[in-house]
Every structure is written in structure tokens, then in C-alpha cells.
Chains A and B, each alone.
Chain A
Amino acid sequence: MTPTGTEQEQGFYPRLNAAGISGGRFSGMIVSVVGKQISNDGQLLILEDGDGAQMKITSPENSQNTQFIEIVGACAEDSVQHFVTRQLGDEFDMDTYNQMINLQNGKYQELFYQSEFQK
């Protein structure tokens, strides 16, 4: 469910970094975060995004992960609840990815989001 109460489109999920999670813009929606795993104590998994900021993942899986992973889950006020983990390997160009999602969520958001999500 989106913050405004409409159904989230099937297969569509915003790609976020730490800045995208905080502020509640996408709160309640299924989102994707990609980052480098910093720590995982079974309760909380920390990912570092392309800006170097940290993202909190709750209820993580307790399995071995590659250095870079993608977590798809439910976005909360300042964390993401884990649903699915995708292994992305040990080499990933975080900088290029970060630039891309910043464009997606910023300058070119019209191309990616319906009007209600546009800032």
C-alpha cells in the first residue's frame, strides 16, 4: 500500500539509497535497496549505499552473502523489512548505480513515478 492508500503496481518498486528511505516518502511500499554488507547480527543487517550512508534492514536472513546484495522488502520510517535477498557478487559499481537511482528519484522522476510520488 502506498502512503496515499493506492495499490502498488505489480512488479514496480522504487530503488532507494539511505536518503530515499528516510523521510517516509516511500513508507509502506515494497522497495529495493542495493549496498555493501557491513554487518549482520541476526537482528539487524547494515548495508552501505553509494553515498557511504548506512541502511538498516530488519529481520534479515541468516545466510552467507556476497559482499554486494540487493534487499527487496517493506519500507518503514527509517529501515526496510527484509523479504528477499539477491546476491550481486563481490564486484559492483556502487557509484554508477547511485548516480542512476539519484536521477531516477530526482531530476527524471516524472519518467519513473506516477504524479503522486513526485516531490
Chain B
Amino acid sequence: MVYQLTTGAIARMMRKEDVKNPTLQAIHVKQVGSQERYRVILSDGELFMQGMLASQLNEYVVNGSLKENTIITVNDFITNLVQGKPVVILLKMAVVDTNSPKIGQPADAHSSGAANSAPAAPQAPAYGAPPPAPSGGNTYSNPYASRQPTNTYGSSGPVGRASGESNIVPISALNPYQNRWTIKGRITNKGDIRKWSNAKGEGCLFSIDILDASGMDIRGTFFKEDAEKWFNILEPEKVYTFTGGRLKVANPQWNKCKCQHEITFDRSTDIQLVEDDDAIKANIYDFKKISDIESIEPETIIDIIGVVISISPVSSITSKKTGNELLKCELTVLDDSNAEIRITLWGEKAKKAENEFDGCPVVAFKSVKVSDYGGRSLGSLNSSSIAVKPKTPETEVIKTWFDNQGTNAASTRKTMSGAGGGGNRDSFENRKYVSFIKDSSLGYNEKPDWLSFKGTISFIKKDKEGGPWYPACPNKEEPCRNMCKVTQTSDNQWVCERCSKQYPDCCRRYIYSLTCVDDTSCTWATAFNDQAELMLGGITANEMNQYLENGDSQKFEEIFQEALFTDWIFKCKVKNEMVNDEQRVKTTIYGMQKVDYVEESKNLLKAIAGF
């Protein structure tokens, strides 16, 4: 049921007028001080004001019938002035509905000058008068008092107040009960314009993250016409003052900013570009070295900084989930750990990539996600932000490194693609054992489980029709990168479905199952090309195919035989999947390391000593 609140009641109560039994909503209830006294914010749907519950009414709060958003009828009240501000003291009331959604978007009666704008109203003694002595000994500090300057502007009422620089509040001070605020901050992230369309309607929106001098950041969103208006005006990395907008509680699932509130900017919003302020940091980065990424778990969100050494052409992909077409572009980034990694950009960021990153600039990427695609790679999210030549000390360090050694160090450079081969080195202590997979029911969560264990290869399922490999595209470049499947045509050519080219031969890549065993249990696992090559002493699938074609099946058998009963430390991903209508837990090897017996012995001795 939607209750009719007595609109206009608050304005009159502010003016100390009598109102007969108004129906109001208590949009906030809070205990104050150490005694049992309750503050109540009363709303008539249009305006809200401060109220206090007379102690004889405390029972309503204690027994839970009066709580946030409860609708009440006020049967007896008085309005007192406390430090110059009107506060309603509730003396008698009745609860209409304890549980209710918040009605309307009431504004602060105190700051909207309701008291001054009433028609034919009696004098409003509250404003401009010196604060009277606190009545009834009810002195208490009122944290809801707005932070506007009170008497410093003489007798000007709330409406005539000067705004501007002196009115700037720190982001941490913003709350939904304060309407007039200005913050000053740097746009640390500007998201793309996104369109939505649902049952209620459609429109577009974009969000920005604002960081102020106190180090706190907050997300603000523009909708529809406001989005269109401000999108082309606001620039990331610049400092602005922002005035006006609605505050609401932030959703931590999407909003990673520090502030617990977020802003919805609206028509009343005013934004002014101001001079850069060094007190406001450019961005809070926590850069990781690219060479360290091979030991970072996929799905982790990190920041990196490096030189963009190559940009792929923009390609278009149809999203499996939404059916929408997405623009995509891949950059290769190199930093002073002499390691490079691919990072995928989407949408607008992808479109502008070729121009923005021309000339091998130093670029910082904030909040990008580590993926295990292609060993290790990075993907940008909507919340990622990219800054070309950012004002942080690392920029200079990387630029200097690149100019002096960067181009020459290519021979020793490490690439993170295929970093799966090196593996994600779990420490000895973090290693598990094979029976752990079943015992801990790994693989049944939304996200795959990862584990490391030491095991021995006991069997390799190599006898598949055509060989334990699949034919892949010989095209090393985007988008195939030697990984896309090709099919054989009738005249012994190979056609790639991705790049649509024909080749005389394909690039075979291993894929087979094997069993790993340790002293607890045994498991099936799948090996892909990089791991298989490691296992088989570096012999490629193409070479193996050659042996078979030359009739040298003995060599083929020998090479697999050599791999049997070798000891490795495996890094595996465990996930359950649907296979032919059945749920099966699949273990895939992402990294393997030969057991170093000396190191392993030392670790074992240490573990024994600690027993």
C-alpha cells in the first residue's frame, strides 16, 4: 500500500506552525549519545527535517515498530529551536506501517529555505536570529546539520549563500541527507558510453571515478541527456569541481571505489574545469612487473605500466552471451623486467588504440584482469583505465630503460604467452597431492580450482586415430596465433576457419590425456601442446607426425616411452564440465616442472624436521 504522507507538513512544522495529526515517514532512526534518546528524521515526501523522540515514546523503537522508513501519524509535537535550527519533538504518535519503502525523494527542509518561501507565513524567527540558549537542556551535537557555512555570511538565508571554492567538502563527508555540496577531484577513470534497454525504457549512461585530495574516490554516473551532455566535455586525468547530484549507497559488486556512496549526476549538476591540483594524486597505482605475471592467478585484477610495442588491427567478434558485436584490439606491452604480455582492449578503447598508442609510448593500465588465455594475457574491463605517459615516477624509469636497452634486449626477452609452460609456481608448502582433487571435491565451484602436486606420469593415451594432436593454423599472426583448428580439403590443403586462408600444411599441436600418480592416488589429466612438448623432451607434434609418415613408428613409441615414470610438479586447473550429458571433473595441466631432486630433498628434509 502506498501511503499518503501529509505533504507540506514539514514546511509548516519548520515554521513552528501547528499541524493536525500529519502522517509522516521516519526516514532515519538513530540512538544518540549514551542515554536512550532517539533522533528521527521526519519526511512528508517532499521535505525532511530533524526530530527527536520524547522518551515516553522510546518503546516504539525498542520493540521494533518504529524503524527506518516507518510511516507514523504524529498526534502531538512541538517544534523547538536547537542552535538556531528547528527540531520537532514527538510527544505522541501512532505507527501506521512499520515496514515501508522510502516515499519520494525528500529534500532537506533546512537548506531548501522552505521556511522563507511560504506564502503568508508568519515570521520565521529561526533564521538570522542569534542562536537561542538550548532549550530544555537538550544539547547534543547534530551530525545531520548540514555543513554549509552558517553565520559567516551574515544574515543571508540558506538560499542566498555564496557557493564556490569555500564550499568544497571532502568526498568522505558526502551523505544522502546533504543536498548542497561541491567536491573537487580528478577524473581517474572515464567509462565508455553504454546503452541499455529494458522493460522500463532505454537510454545511455557512463560513469566516472573521482579522486580527491583526501585520497578517497567515488563513482558518479550520468544518464540519458546528462550522459550525452557531459561525455564529450569531461576528460580523464583532469581536475574538476562537481556540484549537485543524488547520493546513494554504492554497490560493492560493481563499484570498487573506496567511498561507500556513489553519485547520480542530474540536470542540476554543475561541473567546472579547474587548474590541476598536485594535492590530488593522479591515480593510485600498484604496478606489477610483467615477468611476475606468470605467477599471478588468473582472474586477479592488477595494474601494469610499460611500453606499447605493437598494436593489432581492430577486429570484430560476436559475443556468445549477448549476440552483440564487439570491437577488439590487442596490444603487446613490454616493461623493464624485459618481459612482454598481450593485453586485449574492447569497444571504444580498441577503436582509438591505433592513434593513442602510436610511437611506442609508456602507458599505464589500471585494473586489468589476468587471464590464462595463451599462457598469460591481460584483458581490460569497463572499470579499467588507461593513461598514456602518466605522471608517475615509473614512466620515466621505463622510458629510460626502453631507450637505452629495450630494443636490444629482444633476444633475452621473456614472453608471457606460453607462460603456462613455466607454470605458476606454488611453493612447496602450498602443494597438495592427487587424492586432494577428489577428497576436496575440486572443480564444482563457479570458478575453476587450481592446485599443484608432485606426480609421476604413469600412462599416456597416445593412440588416437590420426595421432595425439589436432591440426592447427600455421598463421603465427593475429587472430590465429597457431592455435585455430584447420580442416583438410580434398586436395590435401588445409583451410583455416578463422583467417580463411589455405595452407599446404598444418601446424600440429599436441592434445592428449595421461594419468598422473603419486602415493595417494591417480588421476587423468589433459596436456596441451606446450606441456606435451616439455614432457616429450622438446619433440614437436609435427616431428612426431614425420616419424609416423616415414614408417618409423618405433621412434614414435620410444619418445613416449621415455616420458613414462618421470617425476614432475604439475600445476593444474580442475573444473567440472558437461561431456555428453554427463558432468565430469576435468583436470588440465597448465604448467609442469621437472622435479629437482636436490631442491625437493631439501624441502622434504625441512618438512620432516618440522614434523
Contact residues of A with B, CB < 8 Å?
A: 93, 96, 99-100, 103
Contacts and interface: CB of A to CB of B under 8 A. Distances in A.
Interface in B240-276: none
A96 B608 contact: no
Interface residues of B, number: 5
B605 interface: yes
B102 to A, nearest CB: 70
B447 interface: no
Given A96-B598, A100-B605, 8 more contacts: A93-B601, A96-B601, A96-B602, A96-B605, A99-B605, A100-B601, A103-B605, A103-B608
A100 B602 CA distance: 9
What is the interface of chain A mostly: helix, strand, loop, or mixed? helix
Contacts of A93: 598, 601
Interface of B: 598, 601-602, 605, 608
Contacts of B608: 103
11 contacts: A93-B598, A93-B601, A96-B598, A96-B601, A96-B602, A96-B605, A99-B605, A100-B601, A100-B605, A103-B605, A103-B608
Nearest to A97: B601
Contacts of A99: 605
A88 to B, nearest CB: 12
A100 B598 CA distance: 12
Contacts of B602: 96
B598 to A, nearest CB: 5
A99 B598 CA distance: 12
Contacts of A96: 598, 601-602, 605
A45 B194 CA distance: 83
A100 B601 CA distance: 9
A78 to B, nearest CB: 28
Nearest to A93: B598
A99 B112 CA distance: 82
Contacts of B601: 93, 96, 100
Residue among A99, A100, A103 with max Cβ neighbours from chain B (10 Å): A99
A96 B604 CA distance: 10
B561 to A, nearest CB: 25
- Which has the most chain B C-beta neighbours within 10 Å: A93, A96, A100, A103? A96
A71 B602 CA distance: 24
B519 to A, nearest CB: 14
A99 B606 CA distance: 10
A111 to B, nearest CB: 11
B294 to A, nearest CB: 28
Contacts of A100: 601, 605
A103 B605 CA distance: 9
A103 B598 CA distance: 17
Contacts of B598: 93, 96
A96 B260 CA distance: 55
Nearest to A103: B608
A93 B602 CA distance: 10
A103 B609 CA distance: 10
Nearest to B606: A99
A93 B597 CA distance: 10
B200 to A, nearest CB: 70
Nearest to B605: A99
Nearest to B604: A100
A99 B601 CA distance: 10
Nearest to A108: B608
A96 B608 CA distance: 13
B176 to A, nearest CB: 65
A6 to B, nearest CB: 29
A92 to B, nearest CB: 9
A103 B602 CA distance: 13
A99 B602 CA distance: 9
A76 B608 CA distance: 32
A99 B609 CA distance: 10
A56 B15 CA distance: 110
Nearest to A107: B608
A96 to B, nearest CB: 5
The 3 closest A-B pairs by CB, nearest first: A96-B601, A93-B598, A99-B605
A80 B443 CA distance: 55
A58 to B, nearest CB: 31
Nearest to B602: A96
B601 to A, nearest CB: 5
A53 B598 CA distance: 22
B596 to A, nearest CB: 11
B604 to A, nearest CB: 9
Contacts of A103: 605, 608
B143 to A, nearest CB: 65
A103 B607 CA distance: 13
A106 B575 CA distance: 44
A108 to B, nearest CB: 8
Contacts of B605: 96, 99-100, 103
Nearest to B608: A103
A30 B601 CA distance: 25
A57 B182 CA distance: 90
B600 to A, nearest CB: 10
A100 B605 CA distance: 7
A100 B603 CA distance: 12
A103 B611 CA distance: 13
A96 B605 CA distance: 8
A96 B609 CA distance: 13
A107 to B, nearest CB: 9
Nearest to A91: B598
A103 B37 CA distance: 71
A99 B605 CA distance: 8
B269 to A, nearest CB: 69
